[in-house]
Structure 1
Amino acid sequence: MLIRVAVITPEDFAPRITAHAEHFNDIKFTTYIYRNPMECETLVQQIQDCDVLLFAGPLPYYYGTRRSTRKQQLPSVYIPSDEYTLTLNLGHILLNREEGLRFLSVDTPKQRYLEQAVAEWQLDSSGWHVKDYSQIVDGEGTPFDPEDMIRFHRENFECGRSNLILTSVDYVYERLRLLDIPCINMIVPEKSIRETVARAAHFGQLMISENAQIAVGLAAINQLEEGGGTQPNAGIMLQQMLLDLGKETDASIQQLGLDQFIIYGTRGSIEQMTRNFTQMPAMGNMEDLFGVSISMGFGFGMTAKEAEAHARIGLFHARKQERNSSAFLVTHEKEVIGPLSANSKTFHLKSENRDLLHVAEQTGMSVATISKLSAFIKLRRENSFTATDLAEYLQLSRRSAERVLKKMVNHQFIVPVGEEQPYRQGRPRAVYRINF
């Protein structure tokens, strides 16, 4: 099945990405061009018929996903501008530029990337002037301001503090060239492009596979007033609305009784029906017209029987929302999402790990959150992290991550082990270690 990848990139860089299509038989690239990375916020909203978003770097990724609902709907990847990239560029300057590396003005997403590259080359960077924009990767620190960055490099050159600029931003490079300032646009390693395209293909395959899972939905009518019988007109109206939804999403609708219906489809059709699990399908004004509410349960599974069992669990949770129409969804992994809305909550029905169950019981937190904390540490080389690291992994605000940490620290499942001073500005950040 064809994987559709939207490539958000500067125009001159697009061919380096799309050239990798020949290595994948099932991938199709569509390019969306920006000149300034700050344009990506609007650009992403124009993208249609896409399985994965691929950004040319961390800056377009940041601006393209920071406010967009596309971040939740589609997997997104970007080509990194990391220590490997900087190591390559410092070597290139050392071998090919007469200015050398003694007086360099450089910008980078994170100061630490440059420090690691300098250590690799064992260079003297005392004469360098560095500007980072760490807010896009850390959620705090120095914000990205392209005009300020251009001014920074220009002043360094005009005052004789630097004789060469190394920039990681295409827009900055173009502006500096117009000013006849010696400038290098950071070279992106082919390896980084190739690995990012492969990652995009993997996410696309995974998403298509998930979308093909069997899905079952159950819809039931509930009387708001005790003693009232089920009104036939309410059943007829609900059936018609479900049939209309079925036509839009290629799902099949069957009536189980006067007040209950079953929906057969795929995960993809239910995602479309619920706007990617962010809202209950529109049920009109059934409460006002007939004095009834609608409860819906959706379930995914590898078999129809499993999916239907999960749908019944979802319907059970929906019916507990007394006097309100609501919908819950249960995934193949027994993850419950609901009530479906922009602020849906998620929890796991079961866990076979007794240690995780003990932590969840003691802290009053969900097994899903505890499981994610455990997976977070397994993915890292060392058991130390900040609230910002955790917020980025869990896709929470920093404040929410700090609330999670506070609960865990209170029960000594997470312990503070030190502080980290952010580059240039900001208060020291606490460093933690998981203790379970």
Structure 2
Amino acid sequence: MPLSTKIAIICSHAFKKRISSIAQNIENIQIEFYLYKHPSDAPTLLKQIKPCDALLFGGTLPYLYAQSSLATLPIPWNYLKQDEMTISTTLLSLIANKAISLPRLSIDVMHPKFVDHVLTEIEYTGTKPYVHPISITVPTDDVLKKHIALWEAQQIDFVITSIHSVFDELQLRNIPAMRMLDATSSIIQCLEETKTQSLLTKSESAKAVVGFLDIPENNRCADILQNITATTHATYKQIKANYFELYTTAGHLQNALEKEYFQHLSQQLDTPFRLAFGYGHSIYEAAENATQALKFAKPFEIYILDEQKNLLGPFPKSEGKLSLKTKDPYILQMAKQTSLSPLNISKIIQFSKERQSSQFTAQNLAEYLQVTRRTTERIIKKLVDHGYAKVVGEEMTHQQGRPRTIYELNFATY
């Protein structure tokens, strides 16, 4: 039986009741709740989370309050987004059960344009409801006061709020109100996405890695070997005198890079060792990649060649980080669909951001990724096949030969 994915959820008391029943429809997940009275409590709750596999915020507001603290989180995270589905579900429930006309409604939402989109879709041409934007820069009390003012002026008959604490206060004042209703399908999809992120991250971290360590002959060989294997949690096999093959995982290697263990190690050791690691779809391929990477390594340098033939390094001098723990749900979803690594997709997004033009050739991307033209063409083909890139033209060269295909990325990169 597969192990359960343990998901920590930061949410309100009201959302806990709703998600508890829905989560029963998803196999192999465990839920642990961290409840707030106000979304601004999210950063504090973040520090209380016990070991788990993933984190989910029960709404956009708690996510925004905690956003600045998520960069150092060692697990993937996700949040339930408010969208047109949420708003249309809520308005349908209101009209069906309360018979409230839209002009007599006051509603607060993350993005007021979503309300306009829903009203446009249903071809509504009457007077629009009162719509108030919410964000972490708008105090909750200000939103509450707007609803109360409209009620006391007898301009509205009902309130829909996205903020649970506002709903509780309106109830105390006997002002008719309801909370925004997240569609069951949206909650299930969000839980499934969070589970998938965790499984993908674990898969990346558990990937086998082979390394080669080359140490000049001296009497400190045993000390260097012990230090490096301890740093990377590696086992080893001696190939010849002062030359060793190491076996570890991507997660252990990533941890050593993130915590700058290699930098401290280089400062402590005066013996100019060379070290390289390779990833691969098999141990053989990983060893081949490590052999290639070692050709680039100078004394005290570490290089990594991944399964896509991306050369990373030299560490610890390189400012570039090998990120195996991409938590962006969008990137992870693309990785799942295209079979490209999250690292490659992150690099492609960065490539797009740094270019002055939205159009590019395979050669442009190959130069940026520092991989062969053939490898780049395989990457682009996967993007095109899944609709994440498209052909927009051809570029004639001054020399004889085939014209070069021009591409554009077909997904959000900002």
Matched, 1:64 2:39: no
Match of 2:206 in 1: 212
C-alpha displacement of 1:88: 0.9
Letter of the 1:84 counterpart? M
Match of 2:352 in 1: none
1:336-384: CA deviations, max 9, x gaps?
Answer: 4445579525787xx9xxx7423337xx644799969x9599667999x
Match of 1:226 in 2: none
Tell me the distance in 2 between the aligned counterparts of 1:144 and 1:340.
Answer: 44
Match of 1:232 in 2: 219
Match of 1:118 in 2: 119
Letter of the 1:300 counterpart? Y
Alpha carbons 1:280, 1:340 under 8 Å: kept:
no
For residues 253-292 of structure 1, the aligned pairs below 5 Å read 253-256=236-239, 259-274=242-257, 278-282=258-262, 284=264, 286-287=266-267, 290-292=269-271
| Match among 363, 367, 391 for residue 358 of structure 1 | 363
Alpha carbons 2:23, 2:188 under 8 Å: kept:
no
Match of 1:331 in 2: 306
C-alpha displacement of 1:259: 4.7
Change in 2 beyond 3 A, CA 1:28/1:122: same
Matched, 1:164 2:158: yes
C-alpha displacement of 1:89: 0.8
For residues 14-25 of structure 1, the aligned pairs below 5 Å read 14-25=16-27
| Match among 278, 281, 298 for residue 302 of structure 1 | 281
Match of 2:15 in 1: 13
Identity rate of aligned residues, in percent? 22
Change in 2 beyond 3 A, CA 1:191/1:286: closer
Change in 2 beyond 3 A, CA 1:195/1:279: same
Alpha carbons 1:44, 1:70 under 8 Å: kept:
no
Matched, 1:175 2:177: no
Letter of the 2:186 counterpart? S
Letter of the 2:106 counterpart? S
Change in 2 beyond 3 A, CA 1:310/1:285: closer
Alpha carbons 1:255, 1:261 under 8 Å: kept:
yes
C-alpha displacement of 1:149: 2.4
Tell me the distance in 2 between the aligned counterparts of 1:125 and 1:39.
Answer: 39
Alpha carbons 2:103, 2:130 under 8 Å: kept:
no
Alpha carbons 1:216, 1:262 under 8 Å: kept:
yes
Provide structure 1 residue ranges, at least 5 long, that are not aligned to the other structure.
137-142, 222-228, 384-411, 416-431
Tell me the distance in 2 between the aligned counterparts of 1:98 and 1:209.
Answer: 51
Change in 2 beyond 3 A, CA 1:77/1:127: same
1:37-77: CA deviations, max 9, x gaps?
Answer: 22223333443432222221222233333332256x43322
Tell me the distance in 2 between the aligned counterparts of 1:75 and 1:242.
Answer: 28
Provide structure 2 residue ranges, at least 5 long, that are not aligned to the other structure.
323-342, 349-359, 392-405
2:210 counterpart SS class = strand
Alpha carbons 2:361, 2:407 under 8 Å: kept:
no
2:144 counterpart SS class = helix
Tell me the distance in 2 between the aligned counterparts of 1:40 and 1:294.
Answer: 46
1:219-273: CA deviations, max 9, x gaps?
Answer: 445xxxxxxx65422x233222234336xx4x42344456544321233333344
Match of 1:185 in 2: 179
Tell me the distance in 1 between the aligned counterparts of 2:384 and 2:62.
Answer: 25
Letter of the 2:87 counterpart? L
**Runs of 4+ in structure 1 over 6 Å off:** 367-372, 380-383, 412-415
For residues 365-404 of structure 1, the aligned pairs below 5 Å read 365-366=368-369, 375=383
C-alpha displacement of 1:187: 1.2
Change in 2 beyond 3 A, CA 1:239/1:95: same
1:136-180: CA deviations, max 9, x gaps?
Answer: 8xxxxxx45433322333333334443322111223322333344
Alpha carbons 1:295, 1:327 under 8 Å: kept:
yes
- TM, length-normalised to structure 2: 0.71
- TM, length-normalised to structure 1: 0.68
Change in 2 beyond 3 A, CA 1:152/1:300: farther
1:208 counterpart SS class = helix
Q: CA RMSD in A?
A: 4.0
Moved more, 53-62 or 337-346: 337-346
Moved more, 188-197 or 159-168: 159-168
Match of 2:327 in 1: none
Match of 2:130 in 1: 129
Matched, 1:203 2:182: no
C-alpha displacement of 1:129: 2.2
